[in-house]
Amino acid sequence: MTCCILGLVLMAAIGRVRRLFGARPVSTPDLFAPVARRPAPGETLPPAPVIGPESDGVPARSAVLGYCAVGIALVLVGAPGLITTGLLTNTGSAGQWLLRTVCYAAAVAAALALRRSTAIWRAPRGVGPALVIAGTIIFELGVLDMHVFRVIAIDSSNILQMFVFHNIGPVVAIIGGAVLGYGSLGRSNTAWRSSRSTDTSAQPSSSAVTVASTPPLTW
């Protein structure tokens, strides 16, 4: 139960980390038609904005589900690879491994299908979100492999191996959060500097201002 709660906290922390560093929110598509307007005599209205998330006829795809599919695929092939190297111990039967493989493959197929058909799960694209989501998936599926499917085990006497197995996913997610925060902070600083330069260029310089002097009137 603690592992599941930690995974949900990591997923919920993505938006908070981005808002903390001043990240721009992901644009939400406008699903309604614009308000009808009638121009006044001699007035020209600007062109109507493009409605919907589509660009050049290509529908928007969910980055969250795509990153989830990548994380599940990594765990699907990663656990058997670690067993062959001796880092993990195989404790599952052929039926347990078959059930695990079918469940994970179905999850990958569902994520890819929903990624092409819907954009409900919206998130910015990039290395930061990919690492956060992949790290969370690795952590959660590692717990499932050990305690639900019961196909892998770790020697409890090897503290280092136990520590690495349970913390590799959170470490990857924390690195992704750091990348998100660094990127958002850099964009905020760039926007602040550009706004400062715009304000400075808009102000007239002292050399450009001239005051006309008139001689005194004499009688």
Tell me if 195 is assigned to some domain: no
Tell me if 136 is assigned to some domain: yes
Cβ–Cβ < 8 Å for 141, 103: no
Tell me if 214 is assigned to some domain: no
The pLDDT tens digits for 71-87 are 999 999 999 999 999 88
Picking from 60, 41, 182, 198, the residue whose alpha carbon sits closest to that of residue 118 is 60
Tell me if 208 is assigned to some domain: no
The residues near 100 (Cβ < 8 Å, ≥ 6 apart) are 92, 145, 149, 151
- Average confidence score pLDDT of the chain: 75
Tell me if 67 is assigned to some domain: yes
Give me the residues paired with residue 89 across strands: 153
Tell me if 89 is assigned to some domain: yes
Encode the chain (219 residues) as per-residue pLDDT tens digits: 555 565 566 556 555 555 554 555 555 555 566 667 777 777 776 766 555 544 444 556 778 888 999 999 999 999 999 999 988 999 999 999 999 999 999 999 998 888 876 555 566 788 888 998 899 999 989 999 999 999 999 988 888 888 888 899 999 989 988 888 887 655 555 555 555 555 555 455 544 445 555 555 556
The pLDDT tens digits for 31-75 are 566 667 777 777 776 766 555 544 444 556 778 888 999 999 999
Count the domains in the chain: 1
pTM for this model (two decimals)? 0.64
Tell me if 162 is assigned to some domain: yes
Tell me if 101 is assigned to some domain: yes
Residue-number span of the structural domain to which 180 is assigned: 59-187
